[in-house]
Amino acid sequence: MGSMIELKAGDGHKLAAYRADPPGKPRGAVVVIQEIFGVNSHIKAIADGYAKDGWLAIAPAMFDRAQRGYDTGYSQPEIQAGVAVMQKLDWKQTMLDVEAAVAEAKKAGKVGIVGYCWGGTVSWVAAARLSGLACSAPYYGGGMPGFIGEKPRIPTMCHFGELDQSPTLEQTKAIAKAHPEITAHFYPGAGHGFNCDQRGSYHAESARLARQRTVEFFRKHLG
């Protein structure tokens, strides 16, 4: 459904991105931020899903700074490898890469951002630091507790699994308490990665509900 394109960040870095176009005229755009497994089949499927709902979807290859074309599965060694790549990245450059995706997405109208796992943390930080976004929907960002002081400047809806260990329920409740301006949804029975149907942690009911809420949220803020 989609195709790979190239984006250029503000510092001249070129990165790949997966682009999925809606069937008709886009009602805005959604930037999809990957987990630590790269722009893999699951992230592409998410982008395709948002495109089917009427938005232009762009999933930038955020790991291109450290390792181009990164795309893996979910085994323990692959998780460890993904964490190692993630640790090579720098937040300033990461935000430049998000900005490049937002600039491209803007051609379709207002831009929202959604991210999962590491991408959830990226979506949270972007909501506080970047201009050009209309709303943000972070899913279970393990690094979010470390950024509890960031102040989202746009409507933000967070999705957390109550059984998650990264971030823990205690940590996510603290984030929600520190930021009364955000909407935080908690999913009983769901752990980390509950949205991903390729992982053992997949929790179908929570994934469906979270997606439904995110789509409504995007309709409200993007069109």
Q: What sign does the CA torsion over 143, 155, 21, 17 have?
A: negative
Distance CA 177, CA 157 (A): 14
71, with CB counted inside 10 A (0-12, 13-18, 19+), is: middle
Residue 5, CB-side half-sphere exposure with 13 Å CA sphere: 15
Catalytic status, residue 159: no
Q: What are φ and ψ of residue 183, in 5° steps?
A: -100, 125
Q: Which of 42, 159, 192, 203 is catalytic?
A: 192
Catalytic status, residue 117: yes
Distance CA 94, CA 165 (A): 24
User: Taking Cα atoms as reference points, which of 20, 24, 53 lies closest to residue 39?
Assistant: 20
Straight-line distance from the first to the last Cα atom of the chain, in angstroms, rounded to the nearest whole number: 22
Catalytic status, residue 158: no
Q: Which of 158, 164, 179, 221 is catalytic?
A: 164
The residues, any chain, with a CB within 8 Å of residue 182's CB and separated by 6 or more, are: 152, 156, 157, 158, 175, 176
Q: Which of 42, 48, 97, 117 is catalytic?
A: 117
Catalytic residues: 117, 164, 192
